Structure 1
Amino acid sequence: MTEHVTHVACGETPPGHGPLDHAGAEWAGLRVLVTGLGVSGFAAADALLERGAVVRAVDSGESEQLTERCRILEILGAELVLAGDARAALEESESSEAMDRLLDGVELVVTSPGWRPSSPVFVAAAARGIPVWGEVELAWRMRPEGAAPWVTITGTNGKTTTVQMLDAIFTAAGLRSRAVGNVGTPIMEAVLDPQPYDVLAVELSSFQLHWQRSVSPLASACLNVAPDHVDWHGSLEEYRAAKGRVYENTHVACVYNVQDPMTEQLVVDADVVEGCRAVGFTLGTPGLSMVGVVEGILADRAFVENRQTSAAELGTVADLRRGTVDPPAHVVANALAAAALARAAGVSPVAVRDGLRAFTPEAHRIAEVAVEGDVTWIDDSKATNPHAAAASLRAFDPVVWIAGGLLKGADVDELVAENAGRLRGVVLLGRDRARIAEALARHAPDVPTIDVATTDTGAMAEVVDAAATLARPGDVVLLAPAAASMDMFRNYEVRGERFAEAVRARLGR
């Protein structure tokens, strides 16, 4: 059963106000409710207050960071609705007295990415004709004159790696660039930086894209689409539609994944600026208006003259290698997407190559932990869903696979069936490990499986010891859980750190 999602007015200007589409617009006096005071919500409230808006902010959470942010906003003049008062307003009916007080006088709602569209506050806003913007929409509308162009990236997996690759390429080209958005740095912070940027590499989640309507990027990309966050969006169709918004209003190039036809269909369906091109990236030989791979060379047949008969070299697959591990296919695909976006922005082939060579991936993404006795230990704790785990597993053969955690309703049958032939053995941990065990029994019944029921701080040491008993020379022991980590660890980073610590302890390092 899917959750009904009320469609609210996104991207509209509050009635009675002139166009709010640049930093110098008449923001003063605008009465705004900011929902959520995380990093992006705080940045939005701060920017609005600085421009004279009347801000009411609501957050029902409790933390030291929230307390500090609220103290600052209160000094700046914000009205705060917190703790019990916030819960009374947010958790009751959209027609309750508490909700009436929360929305009293409000002309615009600005929301943080995590808040579901079905939240009563947004239903109530829709009923009252109050538009709702995400912080991305607000940041776009607050850009100063001559602001840096945006190059936007989304996808179920690979967003952060690709946006950081793109930022490295822009930097190699001599541009003042910054990776912002879902990657961690609020877009608003970069947009309002007193020292202007030349270009922004913007990572956008489906949550952020749901609320945006006005953004008009220089170039854009959707890397892939696989089932995810359906509980938030209400349906897979809504999730896909949100991903497709990355292409709306694009000027130069919509970059799509040739291996994922859904991304090309999203380009076909998008309303873009006249003259915008569709540019594919592929792990195979590129066709016209594509970038791809030819005998280990990253080749551009999209942004060169005479592309019918020639191509430009953008580097090599070997440029992406880190440690002893060859770059897996999805990392090469991410690099091709970043290269295509950079080329759309006018970056030279040499700068693309130099940027990819200089790029350092974040921890817990196909990270080599150790090599001992011809067994390689790999940490890909960031593989928090089956789609990401599949990409990781395809990179190695044979594999001792460490999997499990919170599946969040995701199905793992296809993942197990497609990779059964490369599995030397499997070690399972976490709350939903039984569901993976059931899939293994159906599709890989002969693969040795060890179930680790321990959930305390010593669990990962037990997991690593179990994996060591299964591994043979030439194998890769791969932590690619296909699940979230919060059943046992604070986040996927902590899970990866505990894995690496346990590997090093076993190997005496």
Structure 2
Amino acid sequence: MALNFSKSKILILGGGVTGTALANSLTRRGATIAIADDKKIEDSAFSTLLSDDVDISQWEMAVVSPGWKPTHPLIHKLVEAGVEITNEIDLAWMIKQEQAPHQRWFAVTGTNGKTTTVEMTAAAMRAGGLHAIACGNVGDTVIDAVESKENYDVLVLELSSFQIHWMSSAQFTASALLNIADDHTDWHGDFQEYARTKISLLDSSSTGILNADDEEVIKRSVHWKGRKVFFTLDTPAPGEIGVVEDLLVDRAFVADPQEAAMICELKEIQPTVPHNVSNALAAAGLARAAGVNHESIRSALATFTPGRHRIEQVLSSGGITWIDDSKATNPHAASASIMSALSVVWIAGGLAKGAGLDELVKRCGKRIKAAVLIGQDKSIIAKALRDNAPHIAILEIDTPAQYQVGSTENSLMEDVVAAAREFAVEGDTVLLAPACASMDQFINYADRGDRFAQAVKKVIADE
């Protein structure tokens, strides 16, 4: 732990998981720190400040937690005062360079599929004999992973657009860009800035594993000069990874790109839906960039199980399938989920984060027979449905008067499930794929998914 901040006065913006990890690391390294937040922090082991009360002149560096907007008044003050601003990723990189120079970093970003892909990638790397962990926007913070006594060979970072925005020095052996679609425009200001931030990850990467099926990824990566390896659900060209009949194949990391090496069988990817196969291709590309052989990748992918609330079957009863995809927190993710079924009773709504729903409805309208809508922005979804697919039945569910976020009673989701059951018949899929964030009515997306599952098992079991 040679890196020393004993003469540094560092302000940490945000008192959540990342902020606490930063505070622990910097304090061990001798820094004078305080944590600033918009809300009062209770029971902290560190000095805490309300963001409005910060004396800028006391601080020479600020470390920004994910989620803090560049337009935040405190950040404006820090910039105007010339205070150096960094983030956890760059600080962890600085520590890594000194403490673990052998360690290689890989990254995954995209509007959807990040968590599944980083976990697939880390599993493939472990199967290939590397000591690897998925971290960043999933699991451990990056700084905790770097400082871990585990002495990892490889970190596979899930990076949000928020993290990439503040990042400048971290470098990656390879990075995967899964997709770029409308999301977080309330944070970035508009889609162009959001997309620019996502694609800028390539500037910190030696190899880009790029989705050839995503127009935005193709268009925005065209001028990047690093090594590009495209992956596709179609037959891959030489130098690409893709699908040939019932096989995932590699024509990029092989001695002769005119030949194809098998990665795995299509049926070994579960669930076998297009966007999950695409995730597996990206993970395979990253693992090959790390030197992992095809057999190890196949072993990892064939035994991989996605995390909770990702196209998770809750119940099949009376010919109706009930699916929890609460992790589909934006229109792009919800669209992929809807298109994996033929006749959908769609449960959606929450906080739209500035994203539009018209494109989703235009693409998926023929698959949706009815929509049960909840949450703060349910009227936005209802309007998109009426404007673009007037044949779809719409039912908006108001929050029950007695319902409280985090309480044990589950009247909201029980009302939703009962309403969906009225629309559903044999052969239908009732799909919770909200296309929105959850925090208006739930603790988080996991709480939303858990409550849906509980309600399905209670309401449908009572029939």
Same fold? TM cut 0.5 = yes
Deviation at 1:269, TM superposition (A): 4.0
Distance 1:461 1:490 in 2: 17
1:88 paired to 2:52: yes
Match of 1:146 in 2: 101
Distance 1:314 1:330 in 2: 17
Distance 1:434 1:419 in 2: 18
Contact 2:326–2:433 under 8 Å retained in 1: yes
Q: Return the letter of the residue paired with 1:132.
A: I
Deviation at 1:340, TM superposition (A): 0.6
Match of 2:238 in 1: 288
Partner of residue 35 from structure 1, selected from 4, 10, 13: 13
Match of 1:163 in 2: 118
Distance 1:314 1:494 in 2: 36
1:258 paired to 2:212: yes
Distance 1:87 1:124 in 2: 11
Deviations 1:314-335 (A, max 9, x none): 112211224xxxx221111111
Match of 2:263 in 1: 314
Contact 2:199–2:221 under 8 Å retained in 1: yes
Match of 2:42 in 1: 67
The count of corresponding residues between Structure 1 and Structure 2 is: 452
Q: Over the residues paired in the alignment, what is the CA RMSD in angstroms?
A: 1.8
1:51 paired to 2:29: yes
Distance 1:266 1:131 in 2: 29
Distance 2:215 2:383 in 1: 31
1:346 paired to 2:288: no
Deviations 1:187-208 (A, max 9, x none): 0001011231011110011111
1:428 paired to 2:378: no
Q: Cα 1:26–1:501, aligned 2, differ >3 Å: closer, same or farther?
A: closer
Distance 2:185 2:267 in 1: 37
Unaligned residue ranges in structure 2 (runs of 5+): 404-409
Report the TM-score when normalising by structure 1. 0.85
Deviations 1:266-318 (A, max 9, x none): 43444x6xxx410011111111221111112111110011112x111111221
Q: Cα 1:56–1:343, aligned 2, differ >3 Å: closer, same or farther?
A: same
Contact 2:251–2:257 under 8 Å retained in 1: yes
Match of 1:96 in 2: none
Q: Return the letter of the residue paired with 1:151.
A: F
Contact 2:51–2:74 under 8 Å retained in 1: no
Contact 1:162–1:335 under 8 Å retained in 2: yes
Q: What is the percent sequence identity of the aligned residues?
A: 43
Contact 1:147–1:191 under 8 Å retained in 2: no
Distance 1:448 1:236 in 2: 30
Q: Which secondary structure does the structure 1 equivalent of 2:172 belong to? A: coil
Distance 1:24 1:176 in 2: 24
Q: Return the letter of the residue paired with 1:170.
A: M
Contact 2:185–2:355 under 8 Å retained in 1: no
Partner of residue 113 from structure 1, selected from 39, 60, 66: 66
Match of 1:379 in 2: 324
Of 256-265 and 490-499, more deviation after overlay is shown by 256-265
Q: Cα 1:320–1:129, aligned 2, differ >3 Å: closer, same or farther?
A: same
Q: Return the letter of the residue paired with 2:23.
A: A
Unaligned residue ranges in structure 1 (runs of 5+): 1-22, 74-79, 90-98
Q: Cα 1:88–1:130, aligned 2, differ >3 Å: closer, same or farther?
A: closer
Report the TM-score when normalising by structure 2. 0.93
Distance 1:87 1:34 in 2: 10
